[in-house]
Amino acid sequence: MAIRYRTQGFILKKTDRGESDRIFTIYTRDFGKLEILAKAIRKIKSKLRKGTEIFYLSEIEFVQGKIYKTLIDAVLVENFRKIGKDLRKMALSFRILEILDNLIRKEEKDEKTWNLLINTFKELNRQPSIASNQQLLFYYFIWNFLSVLGYKPELNICSLCNKKLVPKNLYFNFKEGGVTCEGCFRKAGEGERISPETIKVLRFILEKKWRVVSRLRIEEESFISLKRISDYWIKFLPQAAIF
Ligand SMILES: [Zn+2]
């Protein structure tokens, strides 16, 4: 007899298959990212439909067949309703899911990523609709997620000469995965200018102090700098052949 597995899962993606089936990509608490087949789910009567929408946190049960895992139960735990009512929140949520799906390996349990994902969605759902706060939450997720994957940037000492950083002219060097001093920036010939204030925000983010981060009054210039460096970092890492 096939063994049944029960766990909590967050629905990342769904793809229709055949006449009435669907394949779900689900990030689960106990087994990491899984692809699970749901048979006949597109039929109106399917009881699985109530627990299987994108951005749903559900209690799921599946069996492992020879080729596929098959979904046999899905009960909604939390649907983060307010995200679906806010276009900006929706856009950020899809970006988070896309990055997660692209960078994470299949079938590898990771409690830190699981907690970060669920907490980020809880917070995004709860937040009032303030663009800068939501954007910050997105960076909070991205930098912490990449850190879990082993890409925590060096923010305290120069990534090249190892000297303690003086809060003056500093640069983010993507190849070295951290901040460098001005002298090393000139020698290396590459890097993106980063302000001491942006470094401070990044430190709070990486210390997982969301309460502090969400209350910071960040100057426009530092916010733009944070955005530019985060965008580069996200683009740079897959090219650096993470896997
Ligand atoms: Zn240096």
Same domain, 62 and 96: no
Residue 160 CA to ligand 1 centre (angstroms)? 5
Q: What percent of the chain has pLDDT over 70?
A: 97
Residue 184 CA to ligand 1 centre (angstroms)? 4
- Mean of the pLDDT values across residues 16-34? 96
Same domain, 38 and 13: yes
Same domain, 147 and 226: yes
Same domain, 149 and 170: yes
What contacts 102, CB < 8 A, 6 or more positions away? 238
Range of the domain at 11: 4-78
- Rg, C-alpha atoms of the chain: 21
Residue 205 CA to ligand 1 centre (angstroms)? 23
What's the pTM value of the predicted model, to 2 decimals? Answer: 0.91
Pick from 64-68, 110-114, 203-207: least confident = 64-68
Choosing from 40, 56, 78, the residue where a domain stops is 78
CATH number at residue 209: 1.20.1440.120
Please give the structure tokens belonging to residue 87: 């276009």
Instruction: Compute the mean pLDDT over every residue in the chain, rounded to the nearest whole number.
Output: 92
Same domain, 177 and 228: yes
Same domain, 44 and 150: no
CATH number at residue 36: 2.40.50.140
Residue 236 CA to ligand 1 centre (angstroms)? 21
- Mean of the pLDDT values across residues 63-90? 94
Choosing from 25, 58, 78, the residue where a domain stops is 78
Same domain, 116 and 215: yes
Same domain, 57 and 123: no
Same domain, 91 and 71: no
Please give the structure tokens belonging to residue 166: 């003086």
According to the model, what pLDDT value does residue 241 have?
47
Which residues have C-beta under 5 Å from ligand 1, the single-atom ion? Answer: 158, 160-161, 181, 184
Q: How many residues does the chain have?
A: 243
Residue 199 CA to ligand 1 centre (angstroms)? 16
Please give the structure tokens belonging to residue 159: 């990534």
Same domain, 144 and 190: yes
Question: How many angstroms separate the Cα of 221 from the Cα of each of 32, 77, 130, 229?
Answer: 38, 40, 18, 12
Is the Cβ–Cβ distance between 27 and 114 less than 8 Å? yes
- Mean of the pLDDT values across residues 77-84? 94
According to the model, what pLDDT value does residue 243 have?
41
What contacts 161, CB < 8 A, 6 or more positions away? 180, 181, 183, 184
Q: Residue 112 above 50 pLDDT?
A: yes
Q: Pick 133 or 189 by higher pLDDT.
A: 189
List pLDDT tens digits, range 189-225: 999 999 999 999 999 999 988 989 988 888 888 899 9
Is the Cβ–Cβ distance between 10 and 117 less than 8 Å? yes
Q: Residue 118 above 90 pLDDT?
A: yes
**Helix then strand then coil, % of the chain, to nearest 5:** 45, 25, 30
According to the model, what pLDDT value does residue 78 have?
96
Please give the structure tokens belonging to residue 175: 């190849």
Q: Pick 242 or 9 by higher pLDDT.
A: 9
**Domains identified in the chain, total number:** 2
Please give the structure tokens belonging to residue 55: 């951005």
Taking the C-alpha atoms of residue 39 and residue 46, their distance in angstroms, rounded to an integer, is: 9
What contacts 60, CB < 8 A, 6 or more positions away? 6, 7, 8, 9, 26, 28, 36, 51, 71, 73, 74, 75
Same domain, 59 and 140: no
Residue 129: band (very low, low, confident or very high) from pLDDT cuts 50, 70, 90: confident
Residue 242: band (very low, low, confident or very high) from pLDDT cuts 50, 70, 90: very low
Choosing from 78, 107, 142, the residue where a domain stops is 78
Same domain, 9 and 126: no
According to the model, what pLDDT value does residue 240 have?
57
Residue 229 CA to ligand 1 centre (angstroms)? 19
Residue 174 CA to ligand 1 centre (angstroms)? 14
SS3 28: strand
